[in-house]
Structure 1
Amino acid sequence: MLESLRLLLHPFLMVACLIRVPSEVVKQRAQVSASSRTFQIFSTILCEEGIQGLYRGYKSTVLREIPFSLVQFPLWEFLKALWSWRRGHVVDSWQSAVCGAFAGGFAAAVTTPLDVAKTRIMLAKAGSSTASGNVLSALHGVWQSQGLTGLFAGVFPRMAAISLGGFIFLGAYDQTRGLLLEVGRKSP
């Protein structure tokens, strides 16, 4: 069942990235720009690079999201099962949230190099070799210039943010799922 869920999840991740990537490109460029005017940055990208500029980093984002999900969700399920087994009862929603925080943080840590490559691709000067979107080339460039430290740049803030998100979203998901199952059992 989990395997079929993972296979279904991939197309949804790819579609979600159709929305996420342009907003991420604009956000990142606003963060490093002298101007923080979002519409101006958006317009500049469209004028100078076309629609491709808004989708620069799409492939690298998908290549980050899929391994992230393939680590986070099975680990979350494993941690919940382990906690249930050790305590002798199904985990509560808050316990599921704690498992989600750990799973999210771990997945964030191991996929940070892919996030670094995605960021470098999105922020690269138009027309540069990095802007072409080759993830392996971007990773190699970071490795050569900054080594392992560069590949894991920002790992702790990323882990913290995603752990918090895992706690909130996976805990809320588990709570909602439990409530819906209970309502379903009470229905005639």
Structure 2
Amino acid sequence: MENGDSYTDLKNYQLVITSLVAGAVAGALAKTTIAPLDRTKINFQVRHETYSAKKAWNFLVTSYRTDGFLSLWRGNSATMARIIPYAAIQFTAHEQWKRVLGVDVDTEKQDDPERRFLAGSLAGVTSQSMTYPLDLARARMAVTRGQESYSTLIQVFATTWKESGIKGFYRGYIPTILGVVPYAGTSFFTYGTLKNKYKEQFGEPSAVANLVFGACAGITGQCTSYPLDIVRRRMQTANITGGEYKTVYGTLKKIYKEEGLKNGYFKGLSMNWIKGPIAVGISFASYDYVLNLLRTILKSSSFFTPKDL
């Protein structure tokens, strides 16, 4: 395992708990850092308005002047409610899937790119499936104003249930899963591969090196799945924006017809090249740091290692 070579004497439940905690911290820190950019991107993704850096900046300035500084983090409570369990589950699932597939454990399998990619993809599918309603809530909060019926997480859930029932919580789920397979697979694959290559040449990487590896993982991951990210946002917020986005194919066709290839499928991608590397870099680097810190504490403290467990 990438983060467990020197912690083989820890029990499996300790490995799982430390991974959950480190993942939660990493996700919360990364998403809070880029929350204003994330909100801006979502607003352009769900509307027909063309994207540009100037318009994105104007949106941030207008939000600040109209609703105050904290409005830039509107929807971040829903993001935190989602990202903390999501990141915790994703990183932990990744470790467990690597263990099942023999990645970074079995000498003959650890350099198998297909297994490394599959472990990342399965981790993404696992975490996304378990937290999807919270992702939908975050998107709806990001594109509405504070005085509307989507101002709090509870209101989002209540309104969604009233309007669409249980199916409403999984609107856009299929494009999300289709997108998360290449995104998570590529991200974890890129980060793990770069980190292992560095270790072979120079030894254990520093936090700065991990940040760079994470940034590279973020760029490659975003480029593989961005059009499907557009599709899921349109489907998630269709009841708010008024668009007819009911199926993946229908949404792709409608976007292309009305907005074209570049302005439709890749709207806001340039912003993702800024926020993606920052978020993923912080996420991976902070995860490794917190994970190793927690496991070092556990390994050196008999208080946390009861013999009867």
Indicate whether the TM-score tops 0.5: yes
1:174/1:29 CA distance change after superposition, 3 Å: closer
Q: CA deviation at 1:45?
A: 1.1
Give per-residue Cα distances to partners, 1:61-91, cap 9 Å, x unaligned. 1111111012112222333345456x64442
More deviation, 27-36/8-17: 8-17
Shift of 1:160: 2.7
Q: Distance in 2 between matches of 1:176 and 1:23?
A: 25
Corresponding residue for 2:236? 122
Counterpart CA distance in 1 for 2:259 and 2:291 is 44
In the alignment, the residues of structure 1 paired with residue 180 and residue 162 of structure 2 have an alpha-carbon distance, to the nearest angstrom, of 29
- Which residue is equivalent to 1:73? 188
Q: Which runs of 5+ in 2 are unaligned?
A: 1-102, 104-109, 300-309
Correspondent of 1:51 among 166, 172, 185: 166
Partner of 1:21: 132
Are 2:174 and 1:63 equivalent residues in the alignment?
no
Q: TM-score, normalised by structure 1?
A: 0.77
Letter in 2 for 1:63: L
Stretch of structure 1 that moved more, 56-65 or 22-31 = 22-31
The corresponding residue for 2:213 is 99
Q: d(CA) in 1 for partners of 2:291 and 2:227?
A: 33
Counterpart-to-counterpart distance in 2, 1:5 and 1:88: 22
Give 3-state SS (helix, strand or coil) of 1:130's partner. coil
Distance across 2 between alignment mates of 1:88 and 1:129? 53
Post-superposition shift, 1:103? 1.2
User: 2:248 is matched with which residue?
Assistant: 135
- Distance (whole Å) between structure 1 residues aligned to residue 180 and residue 234 of structure 2: 16
Distance 1:177 1:25, change over 3 A: closer
Secondary structure in structure 2 of the residue aligned to 1:121 = helix
Count of aligned residue pairs for this structure pair? 183
From 151, 155, 162, the counterpart of 2:269: 155
Distance 2:216 2:264 in 1: 23
Deviation larger for 49-58 or 120-129: 120-129
How far does the alpha carbon of each residue in 1:126-182 deviate from its partner, in whole angstroms, 9 at most, with x for none? 997522xx3233223222222222211121333333322222221123335655489
Distance 2:121 2:212 in 1: 25
Distance 2:284 2:216 in 1: 11
* TM-score where L is the length of structure 2: 0.50
The answer as to whether partners of 2:123 and 2:184 remain within 8 angstroms in 1 is: no
Q: Unaligned stretches of 5+ in structure 1? A: none
Which structure shows the bigger proportion of residues in helix conformation? 1
Question: Alignment partner for residue 144 of structure 2, among 33, 38, 43?
Answer: 33
Q: Describe the shift of the 1:124–1:95 C-alpha distance in structure 2 as closer, same or farther (beyond 3 A).
A: same
Q: 1:145 aligns with which of 248, 255, 258?
A: 258
Question: d(CA) in 2 for partners of 1:129 and 1:170?
Answer: 37
Taking only the aligned residue pairs, the percentage that are identical comes to 24
1:166 is matched with 280
